[in-house]
Amino acid sequence: MYKNSNCRLQAHRGVSTDAPGNTMPAYELAVTQGYDIIELDPKFTKDNVCVLIHNRTINATATKDGKAPEEDIYVKDLTLAELYEYDFGESFSPEFKGTKIPTMEEVLELSEKTGIAIKIDSVAATFPEEQQEILFAQLRAHSKANVGITGAQVEFLAKAAEAVPGITIHYDGVIDDDALATLDTLVESREKLYIWQRLDNEETSWCKVPPVSHEISKKVKEHGYLGVWLLATHEEMAEAIAFGADVVETNGEIKPY
């Protein structure tokens, strides 16, 4: 929770200001610092293991023998064992040297152990059918984990809701009456539905979905929780709270109090 409000905080790629994003240290910091939700980015390896990394290539965060790869190396072209040959912490800070790419299995176990919620990024909607089924089966196998999945298309979210009973739905697409009506049918209660709107700032300027407004936020809150992303300052937090945000996504610049 944030200060004296009822607004929860979601850690973007874990606490990615204090540890390398999408690594177990960043996720574990989200737990110890008191965040409510961890947002994370899945990808699949060559041997169909679900790992967590933002980019499709490893170049931005991986090193081997202290050096970043000179040519693009795609996650999908490496097995998990081959990925384990790389360091995913050293480029962020020497104190994180030795950090390995995390697997979905590890973060599901973290959720089961601590109760922290995890939110799977909408990239899962782009996975081939086989890999979606692998992911859904893994989520079903960890039914005690507190898991949500994100999508901009209600069709994908409907598929996820059917495949993983009780999963929390996070919608970040265009708000219209048809979408809201369909979303209502996917969840057993409004507490299982989060509808995300972007704050109009530099971090979200690339997104074509209209930014949060009082009119949209009022409509959203009739159906589920209002999420607002991606914030970095307390001034932006004040804006989000004024819109009625139930949860806010931050990279770690905003801390729970």
**How much is the average pLDDT of 33-37?**
98
Residues 11, 38 contacting (CB under 8 angstroms)? yes
What type of residue sits at position 21? G
Task: With cut-offs at 50, 70 and 90, classify the pLDDT of residue 257.
Answer: confident
Q: For 113-163, write each residue's pLDDT tens digit.
A: 999 999 999 999 999 999 999 999 999 999 999 999 999 999 999 999 999
CB burial of 159-193 (b: ≥16 within 10 Å; e: otherwise) equals bbbebbeebbbbbbbebeeebbeebeebbeeeebb
**How much is the average pLDDT of 48-61?**
98
**How much is the average pLDDT of 50-68?**
97
Q: For 223-240, write each residue's pLDDT tens digit.
A: 999 999 999 999 999 999
CB atoms within 10 A of CB 49: 19
What pLDDT does 27 receive?
A: 98
| 234 three-class SS | helix
Predicted TM-score (pTM) of the model is: 0.96
Residue 4 has pLDDT above 90, yes or no: no
What pLDDT does 223 receive?
A: 97
Residues 185, 178 contacting (CB under 8 angstroms)? no
Q: What percent of the chain shows pLDDT beyond 70?
A: 100
Find the radius of gyration of the CA atoms of the chain: 18
Fold held by 8-56+102-250: TIM Barrel (3.20.20)
Q: For 241-253, write each residue's pLDDT tens digit.
A: 999 999 999 999 9
Q: Which of 29, 35, 9 minimizes the C-alpha distance to 228?
A: 9
